Structure 1
């Protein structure tokens, strides 16, 4: 019997060189940049609105940012580990990040919003997100999946200030859910994206749960920009929504951890820094 021909080794799931530059081990630089950020107008603030499908990790991302800025685990935005396909966040909620003492805050704020769902009887309505971008939704308004906020509702802000308006729109989606998005949800996201573009609002996207979706990233978070599958998934998401690759940021939210990790922090800070910069540029044009 002749020797069987040797089988070629399976293709590697990672690139030998990262496809995006990332300065690992330099977390303190980005952290100090964010901590030192001050808007051109000292009394102004950058408002960052997060939206996306149910269970995308919007609230978890806000908690993760708060963790990084506080240097410890926090729970500013409540999350639900078993929402059964429905949005845990029901109200338009504003979150400030504490700076120093409990009465001072960083000049950027987050708005969490009800998740997008299929059908017309669940999830936030795209029209309500458009109203929020224009500053017409008051903090604490409870969304009604059946009807859009009207001028007669108590939750309607008829005279929004520049601070009430959204300065950065962030689309949040789990990395392993990109291919599973229904055409209906994608259509809603595109509708929101077009409206934001018409208003001139800068847009970015964050892909969450990268460690759960890709074994090589779970093995080491530093493999994030070596992962072939993650790069392909980001390209797919960019194609679906039209968001440029350089405005899509993969992150790992804190969920089961009880202590912080510098590399996880670095990815969160990289995304946050871009949001702040884009928001500042937009505010200066308003």
Structure 2
């Protein structure tokens, strides 16, 4: 008999829960093989409101074992809340940090004269944007400007580019937004920088996930979203990850953590592959 497919598959199409402890141990013990850098740099980019800052907070929450708020977020405004180029380090203890960082950038917006300029994102990829630079949608950063790094080191450059989109956005991404994302992706490809996408707010997109976060990779709907982003953005499906960011939780939750750690482990692996090519 026909009919709609069941909302949940019997088996997950990607295993995260079973490997949570193993993946977390990898993340906490990771060290770059390339000794020219102290930190592997991951740049987050994507449309306004996709959850870049929330992902930074979620990573901090996982590493600390409790919900944490490092990056400021705003769920009300349709404009980017992040205005500056800001890099987040994560503390192991008072005297040491984990050897990877997440760099946050102003969000992409549909209009050509709002949001971060695609050219500014490309400059960030090459390490030309200094920490704390305030993005101006009306004026792209150029050599000689305050905030332009003329001599970036390997440490300044981006080692992995991560697009952030929310689960219900595939049908809402305009042609202009898709073009901006593809332009950024092409620039990263030309530089040999590996790329991933994380799909956030999965609990809002799928009722079955809201009931039980561990079912993320059993959801037929979310599997279709991954396939759709694969076709729309041109990324392989094994470079697209689903997760729920910490939002209302007041305690650590292993079911939430598992998908975050799965994605983070892959980020470190892909970024390390890039750094090894630069040795």
Q: Does 1:119 align with 2:111?
A: yes
Give the structure-1-normalised TM-score.
Answer: 0.93
Q: CA deviation at 1:16?
A: 2.3
Residue of structure 2 in register with 1:222 after alignment: 214
Q: CA deviation at 1:17?
A: 2.4
Change (3 A) 1:216 1:144: same
Query: Is contact 2:198–2:240 with CA below 8 Å preserved after alignment?
Result: yes
Question: What's the CA shift string for 1:195-232, capped at 9, x where partnerless?
Answer: 10000000000000000100111111122111111111
Query: Is contact 2:17–2:259 with CA below 8 Å preserved after alignment?
Result: no
Structure 1: distance between partners of 2:3 and 2:120: 52
Structure 2: distance between partners of 1:203 and 1:11: 31
Q: Does 1:131 align with 2:123?
A: yes
Change (3 A) 1:10 1:152: closer
Query: Is contact 1:45–1:107 with CA below 8 Å preserved after alignment?
Result: yes
Query: Is contact 1:50–1:58 with CA below 8 Å preserved after alignment?
Result: yes
Give the structure-2-normalised TM-score.
Answer: 0.96
Instruction: Give unpaired runs (5+ residues) of structure 2.
Output: none
Question: What's the CA shift string for 1:90-109, capped at 9, x where partnerless?
Answer: 000010011111x3110000
Change (3 A) 1:9 1:127: closer
SS in 2 for 1:169: strand
Instruction: Give unpaired runs (5+ residues) of structure 1.
Output: 1-6
Query: Is contact 1:120–1:146 with CA below 8 Å preserved after alignment?
Result: no
- Of 168, 172, 189, the residue aligned with 1:197 is 189
The CA RMSD over aligned residues, in Å, is 1.5
Residue of structure 2 in register with 1:149 after alignment: 141
Residue of structure 1 in register with 2:6 after alignment: 12
Matching of residues 50-199 of structure 1 within 5 Å: 50-83=44-77, 85-101=78-94, 103-199=95-191
Structure 2: distance between partners of 1:279 and 1:54: 24
SS in 1 for 2:164: strand
Question: What's the CA shift string for 1:105-146, capped at 9, x where partnerless?
Answer: 100001000000011221001000000000000000000101
Greater radius of gyration (CA): 1
Query: Is contact 1:25–1:262 with CA below 8 Å preserved after alignment?
Result: no
SS in 2 for 1:201: coil
Query: Is contact 2:32–2:272 with CA below 8 Å preserved after alignment?
Result: yes
Question: What's the CA shift string for 1:13-68, capped at 9, x where partnerless?
Answer: 12222222x14254222111111111123453200000000000000000000000
Structure 2: distance between partners of 1:23 and 1:8: 31
Q: Does 1:48 align with 2:42?
A: yes
Structure 1: distance between partners of 2:2 and 2:194: 46
Query: Is contact 1:168–1:279 with CA below 8 Å preserved after alignment?
Result: yes
Residue of structure 2 in register with 1:28 after alignment: 21
Question: Which runs of at least 4 in structure 1 moved beyond 3 Å after TM superposition?
Answer: 7-11
Query: Is contact 2:16–2:259 with CA below 8 Å preserved after alignment?
Result: no
